[in-house]
Amino acid sequence: MNENNSKFILAIALSFIFLIAYSYFFQPKPKPEDQAHQITQSTHSLQGQAPGASHLAPNTLEQNAPQPTQNTPLIAFVRSKGVEIEIDSLGRIAQVYLKDKKFTAHRQEGFLEHVQELLGLAKPKPPLEKLPLLGTDALKPLELRFVDNALNAEAFKTPYSASAKEITLNNAPQSLVLTQELPGLTLTKTLTFYPNLTYDLKIHLEPKRASNTAYVLSNGARPVADADGYAFHGVLLGTQDHKLEKIEDGKAKKTKTFSNTTFIASVDRYYTSLFFANTPLNAIVDTQPSKNPLPFVSLKGDATLHGYIGPKDHHLLAQINPALTEVIEYGIITFFARPVFLLLDFLHNYTHNWGWAIILLTLIVRIVLYPLSYKGMVSMQKIKDLAPAMKELQEKYKSDPQKLQMHMMQLYKKHGANPLGGCLPLLLQIPVFFAIYRVLYNAVELKSAGWMLWIHDLSLMDPYFILPLLMGVSMYAQQALTPNTITDPTQAKIFKMLPLFFTIFLITFPAGLVLYWTINNIFSIVQQWMINQMLDKKKAREIAKHKK
């Protein structure tokens, strides 16, 4: 590896560190209050709407936005072993609580808080009794707004009545009927809740002439149970041709309309609140001063929808509707990351432990990439062997860069060395590593998934920092075994500091990610040692042959 290659690889490593560290530590965290359902979009923003949404009057969403109603009375409760749902007097889902220990057993804590607990300077926080998913002053699921301003104003002053104050879910679905009596109009929402956190919604308007009454209905602002700033937060819409429309928090610059969508989902890192239907939906995503998206579907008269509020569990979403698995979003590398997750899930079916599945996945990746690694190491070793001759040429032609470059290329050609041979394999491996990184970072399946004796939750940091320290040591050992010819003292020092940088940056990352990185380094050490042995034996044979 010549000096230019060293600079190139060093730049890649430092850029990778900076990208991950900046995104994880410094990206602004979304605030729950930013999801408040006040809408201030201008009149012209609803012009040019999608087919099927034309019955909406301009400025409807802005004019018909109610004032925040944080203390709206609760009129019904839906309870099961794993969930509790609150319904308020405006016919909305006011809050959803997850009670399963998978989501409440361990809390995400900051680095300083954790150190204080380890040193006995602070008491450990007890587990949550239940995890709230929705913001207290946010756009609620099932909020309905009429296009007619007078009717809408009356609707937000008229409470709903519920057919039961409490229903209990066991193994069978249960129904709840919400009724609102308005002047000349009766609105009925029939909700059927299922144990898997899905629900059916039927909206009925009386009398029959109300069939032309237009309104919008929201699946709610995104959940706020996980405020991590690196994961995608915002609204996702599925299209008929299996494409995904994404509107991220802080980037909703204007109101947009979408026709023929398969689902509309508000998401954070681990959770979602969504609508889907048997027929295509016409959706509207509005904005507010914070530029956070606010989702609605456009309806007229009677309507039937299906909804889901809960974790983005791949198996559960696939059982509900295979298209819903698209709400598990991995960024620009989704097309590659999704098969990686399916492989990880396949391995988990045999190991029954996500930690061991991660280790097997890492081993498979190292085996698949072995030909690239071997080719890169051979090329780097050749460049290293040519270092003395390269130094002589640099001294001889230091005042003539063109001749230096010409003789360098001749030297490479003579000995079959490729100056980019060590860089290209590295470049090809980066998408693979980044895909695995995004999969492990976004998989709700890792929550409360233990590994070994001290890791009780692979989605949280290692409580005793064992894995980050092992990662740093293994990275240093790998670096010591890898041939390099960095001659610049400053570059050499920075290169030697990379293990320390990675250890510091990854110390608060989820243990599942650090486990992958550590095991990857260990496998790389073994692989590098094997390649070095093979190259040494090959060199010894060539020397013996030359002596003969």
- What is the rounded CA–CA span in Å between residue 78 and residue 61? 30
Residues 358 and 218 in one domain: no
33 pLDDT above the threshold of 50: no
**The pLDDT of residue 27:** 46
**The pLDDT of residue 199:** 96
- What is the rounded CA–CA span in Å between residue 145 and residue 514? 47
Bridge partners for 257 per DSSP: 284
Q: Which tens digits make up the pLDDT trace of 498-517?
A: 888 888 888 888 899 899 98
Question: Does the residue 296 lie in any domain?
Answer: yes
**The pLDDT of residue 56:** 47
Asked whether 311 and 98 are in contact (CB, 8 A), the reply is yes
**The pLDDT of residue 524:** 84
- What is the rounded CA–CA span in Å between residue 315 and residue 86? 26
Residues 344 and 448 in one domain: yes
Residues 317 and 351 in one domain: no
Residues 516 and 393 in one domain: yes
If you ran DSSP here, which 8-state letter would residue 23 be given?
I
If you ran DSSP here, which 8-state letter would residue 22 be given?
I
| Residue type for position 71 | N
Asked whether 169 and 96 are in contact (CB, 8 A), the reply is no
* DSSP string over 185-211: EEEEEEEEE-TTSEEEEEEEEESGGGG
Alpha helices by DSSP H, listed for 22-73, are: 60-63
Give residue 326's pLDDT band: very low, low, confident or very high (50, 70, 90): very high
- What is the rounded CA–CA span in Å between residue 317 and residue 323? 8
If you ran DSSP here, which 8-state letter would residue 267 be given?
E
11 or 136, greater pLDDT: 136
**The pLDDT of residue 396:** 80
* Neighbouring residues of 111: CB distance < 8 A, sequence distance ≥ 6: 461, 507, 508
Cβ-based neighbour number of residue 435 at 10 Å: 22
Asked whether 518 and 474 are in contact (CB, 8 A), the reply is yes
Best-predicted range by mean pLDDT (314-323, 325-334, 379-388): 314-323
Question: Does the residue 30 lie in any domain?
Answer: no
Residues 109 and 145 in one domain: yes
Of 300, 327, 354, which one is at a domain's C-terminal end? 327
Residues 451 and 540 in one domain: yes
101 pLDDT above the threshold of 60: yes
Cβ-based neighbour number of residue 12 at 10 Å: 14
Asked whether 225 and 312 are in contact (CB, 8 A), the reply is no
Q: Which tens digits make up the pLDDT trace of 50-93?
A: 333 334 443 456 555 665 555 789 999 999 999 999 999 999 99
Bridge partners for 93 per DSSP: 87
- What is the rounded CA–CA span in Å between residue 230 and residue 449? 21
- Quick one: angle between helices 423-442 and 3-21, nearest 10? 10
Question: Does the residue 173 lie in any domain?
Answer: yes
Question: Does the residue 265 lie in any domain?
Answer: yes
Residues 269 and 128 in one domain: yes
- What is the rounded CA–CA span in Å between residue 356 and residue 363? 11
Number of domains in the chain: 2
3-class DSSP assignment, residue 109? coil
Q: Which tens digits make up the pLDDT trace of 377-431?
A: 777 777 777 777 877 887 887 777 888 888 888 887 777 777 666 666 666 677 7
**The pLDDT of residue 495:** 74
13 pLDDT above the threshold of 50: yes
Where residue 289 sits, what CATH number does that domain have? 2.70.98.90
State yes or no: cis peptide before 207, omega within 30 of 0: yes
Handedness of CA 458, 459, 464, 465 (dihedral sign): positive
Of 272, 305, 327, which one is at a domain's C-terminal end? 327
E strands, 268-353, where?
Answer: 271-286, 294-300, 303-311
Q: Which of 130, 33, 143 is nearest to 88 (CA)?
A: 143
Residues 320 and 448 in one domain: no
34 pLDDT above the threshold of 60: no
341: exposed, middle or buried (Cβ count in 10 Å: 0-12, 13-18, 19+):
buried
Q: What percent of the chain has pLDDT over 70?
A: 79
Question: Does the residue 33 lie in any domain?
Answer: no
Question: Does the residue 227 lie in any domain?
Answer: yes
Asked whether 231 and 441 are in contact (CB, 8 A), the reply is yes
102 pLDDT above the threshold of 50: yes
190-194, 251-255, 329-333, 479-483, range with the lowest pLDDT? 479-483
Residues 250 and 396 in one domain: no
157 or 36, greater pLDDT: 157
Q: What is the mean pLDDT of residues 162-181?
A: 94
- What is the rounded CA–CA span in Å between residue 398 and residue 386? 17
Question: Does the residue 36 lie in any domain?
Answer: no
- What is the rounded CA–CA span in Å between residue 266 and residue 37? 14
445 pLDDT above the threshold of 60: yes
64 or 465, greater pLDDT: 465
**The pLDDT of residue 400:** 79
Q: Which of 162, 147, 130 is nearest to 216 (CA)?
A: 147
Q: What is the mean pLDDT of residues 516-545?
A: 83
Q: Which of 82, 139, 24 is nearest to 311 (CA)?
A: 82
Structure tokens that stand for 471 in this block:
């990662």
Bridge partners for 199 per DSSP: 193, 307
Asked whether 65 and 41 are in contact (CB, 8 A), the reply is no
CA angle 132, 141, 443 (to 5 degrees): 55
18 or 170, greater pLDDT: 170
Cβ-based neighbour number of residue 525 at 10 Å: 18
Question: Does the residue 32 lie in any domain?
Answer: no
- What is the rounded CA–CA span in Å between residue 94 and residue 132? 10
Residues 157 and 138 in one domain: yes
Residues 348 and 278 in one domain: no
Q: Which tens digits make up the pLDDT trace of 123-151?
A: 667 777 899 999 888 899 999 999 999 99
Residues 195 and 341 in one domain: no
The residue behind tokens 């039937």 is 304
Q: Does pTM surpass 0.85?
A: no
3-class DSSP assignment, residue 483? coil
Domain range spanning residue 485? 3-20+336-547
β-strands 294-300, 303-311 pairing: unpaired
Give residue 121's pLDDT band: very low, low, confident or very high (50, 70, 90): low
Asked whether 512 and 446 are in contact (CB, 8 A), the reply is yes
Of 297, 327, 357, which one is at a domain's C-terminal end? 327
Handedness of CA 273, 275, 276, 281 (dihedral sign): negative
**The pLDDT of residue 498:** 81
Asked whether 492 and 486 are in contact (CB, 8 A), the reply is yes
Give residue 8's pLDDT band: very low, low, confident or very high (50, 70, 90): very low
**The pLDDT of residue 298:** 94
146-155, 487-496, 537-546, range with the lowest pLDDT? 487-496
364 or 56, greater pLDDT: 364
β-strands 74-79, 185-193 pairing: unpaired
Q: Which tens digits make up the pLDDT trace of 261-273?
A: 999 999 999 999 9
